[in-house]
Amino acid sequence: MEQQPAKKAHRPKSGTGRLILCLAITLVIGLVYFYVALPPLNLQAQEFYTFLTMLCVVFVVCTLLTSGMDLIRENSSPKEYLRFIKSRCLPVGILFLALIVVSIAGTVISMPIFRAGAYRDLLTVEEGNFSTDIAEISFNEIPTLDRSSAEYLSDRQMGTLNDMVSQFEYSFDSTQINYQGRPVRVAPIAYADLIKWFTNRGEGLPAYVMVDMVSQEATVVRLEEGMKYSFSEPLNRNIVRHLRFSYPTFIFGTPQFEIDEEGHPYWIAPRIVKTIGLFGGADIQGAVLVDAISGECTYYDLNDIPTWVDNVFTPNLIMEQYDYHGTLVNGFINSIFGQRDVTITTEGSNYIAINDDVYMYTGVTSANADQSNLGFLLSNQRTKQTRFYSAPGATEAAAMQSAMGVVQDLGYTATFPLLLNIAGEPTYFIPLMDATNLVKSYAMVNVAQYNVVATGATVSACEQEYIKLLTAKGIATEEEVPRTEISGQITDIRSAVMEGNSYYFIQLEGDPTYYALSASQNPIAVILNVGDTVTIQHTPAVDGESSSILDGSTITLEGAAQPAPSPIVPPAGEEVPSPSPTPETE
């Protein structure tokens, strides 16, 4: 019997073609992953290490599938198989291990336990004086909505637009800004679904929604040219993808929608840098402004960002940095054991407008997280200038519970408070909503004594009731009673002679209050007519004594050369005098 010659052992195939095939497959999968996940190509981004690790795994798997399995089928020895794997995948394996080592080392050297001082100094906190820094805000500047209420009104407004409602929907992605001196929330509309995007993508999004946070008026603002760049775009014009392709190495925060003073829409994308170790100490270095219509991108360093921009630093980032500042004030060990002088922010935040900038507000409490605040923070969301105001008192949550307790029979829900200065007193202002997310009432709660709670159907009525409580309890004197301002169109004028002096009682549109004007102090009162638009600065009624409310107010008639002397609210509990003929202007 003829003996067959022994088969020669197969050696691993090192064909260049299969190597190119593995690299091509890895490249294609990497491009698809990059297009979908959009990781920054930056050594300080942990997503970048995930991306490279994924590429290494894909290459090794492709190598095994295209070449390594041939060795298994041909019964190659384990030694030959391992030699092949080593020759083909060793460089990739070394890169894989290097990525893991760098990632672990970078995480360790960035930990607060080793860099407590650097984390503490991420945020510079100055001491502020509440009564001087926070001016008493007038009625026409007090936001009376929270985010959920504003977005509810915006969504309902979309339903009134027959030509848009079937194609577009409200995005529920609003941003609070100051627009022409008014606190408003703005949000783009979005494509209703993928089919609606396909049929409307050429024109883009034709409008955005703006809600006046004071008057509660929601408006759909139509654009001459549609917005081509937004979150609702699925492909290249998606705002995040557009930013990544324009700035592949930047680490971005979530882009925020804003409008400039002319109403032109932009996306504000803060650029994040890691300032501690490799991955720690996130901070903002600048921002990219993207024209939502044309897609034009412009990068600004932090100090050069236009002043109309209101949202660069997010509340979450500011609160995170303060928590490092407050907990690591005496070192890392003290933050765990002893906790001497350790403070943290409370849960939740709100916004307040100061000098045409938007400031983030949040409370500061002890590490025990009890029901009392030590004070609160105000931080400029464009510059990160942050001040701490010492104001021991109730937390926001305790104030909300106190306000709801007053109206518990009505079942209203308290929104997160806004901080106001009323007669020099830090005061929580809390809109109260019904089950349909509409604001039905307002409450003011004294921060230091949260059992001092006033409610009212209007902001004016709520403040007047609150001031009565402050004076009754000796917290504020009549000299400290604030002057407030209200503007509107005159809907009713009545006149009367009281103690030999002529007074004109004016009612403004949408306001049930009558404001009393002394003709001797306000000569302009005699020429006012129904329909005139005026601005009244007045002192709210404190008690029933007319002398305290008939002095020191001012009124401005729109179009007048200069303001004349001024107005007031009729004494509490008194009847408005019967109308007498209103003087006519020639």
DSSP 8-state class, residue 305 = S
Amino acid 564: pLDDT? 34
Q: What is the pTM of this model?
A: 0.78
Lowest-confidence region among 14-28, 109-123, 335-349, 568-582:
568-582
What's the confidence (pLDDT) of residue 429? 92
What is the mean predicted confidence (pLDDT) over 164-180? 88
**pLDDT at res. 561:** 36
**Domain coordinates in residue numbering, the chain:** 16-109, 143-312, 396-480, 484-557
Q: Is the pLDDT of residue 18 over 70?
A: yes
Q: Are 428 and 418 in contact (CB under 8 A)?
A: yes
Q: What is the pLDDT of residue 558?
A: 59
Can you read off the two tokens belonging to residue 486? Answer: 């209200």
Of 272, 268, 266, 265, nearest to 312 by C-alpha is 268
Half-sphere exposure of 360 (CA within 13 A, CB side): 28
Kindly tell me if the per-residue pLDDT of 395 is higher than 60.
Answer: yes
Q: Please state the φ and ψ torsions of residue 458, each to the nearest 5 degrees.
A: -125, 165
Distances (CA, A) of 232 to 33, 189, 241, 271, 464: 20, 9, 12, 22, 46
* pLDDT band at residue 41 under the 50/70/90 scheme: very high
In the 3-class helix/strand/coil scheme, how is 492-529 assigned residue by residue? EEEEEEECCEEEEEEEECCCCCEEEEECCCCHHHHHCC
Which of 102-106, 276-280, 405-409, 502-506 has the least mean pLDDT? 502-506
| Tens-digit pLDDT profile for residues 478-529 | 666 655 667 788 998 888 877 777 888 888 887 777 787 878 778 888 888 8
pLDDT at position 467 is 86
Mean pLDDT, range 290-318, rounded to an integer: 95
| 335 — pLDDT class (breaks 50, 70, 90) | confident
Average pLDDT of span 303-316 = 94
Q: What is the pLDDT of residues 407-437, one digit of tens each?
A: 888 889 999 898 888 888 889 999 999 888 8
How high is the mean pLDDT of the chain? Answer: 83
Confidence check: pLDDT of 320 > 90? yes
Per-residue model confidence as pLDDT tens digits over 130-151: 877 877 766 667 888 888 888 8
pLDDT digits (tens, 9 = 90+) for 50-100: 999 999 999 988 887 776 556 555 566 666 666 766 777 788 888 999 999
Residue 186 pLDDT exceeds 90: yes
- Parallel/antiparallel/unpaired status of strands 357-366 and 350-354: antiparallel
Q: What is the dihedral of CA 324, 326, 327, 331, to 10 degrees?
A: 90
At 3 the pLDDT is 53
Is the pLDDT assigned to residue 317 strictly greater than 80? Answer: yes
Return all residues near 5 (Cβ < 8 A) that are at least 6 apart.
none
Give the pLDDT band (50/70/90) at residue 548. very low
The pLDDT value given to residue 310:
94
pLDDT for residue 292: 96
Of the candidate CATH numbers 2.40.50, 3.40.50, 3.30.2010, 2.40.390, the domain formed by 484-557 belongs to: 2.40.50
User: How sure is the predictor about 238, in pLDDT bands with cuts at 50, 70 and 90?
Assistant: very high
pLDDT average, residue stretch 183-200 = 92
> What confidence tier does 250 reach under pLDDT thresholds 50, 70, 90?
very high
pLDDT digits (tens, 9 = 90+) for 350-365: 888 887 889 999 999 9
E strand or H helix at 200: helix 194-200
Query: Which one is predicted more confidently, 32 or 3?
Result: 32
194 SS3 class: helix
**CB count in 10 Å sphere of residue 559:** 7
Confidence of residue 553 (pLDDT cuts 50, 70, 90): low
pLDDT of 7 higher than 70 = no
Taking 3-state DSSP, the helix, strand and coil percentages for the chain, each rounded to the nearest 5, stand at 30, 30, 40
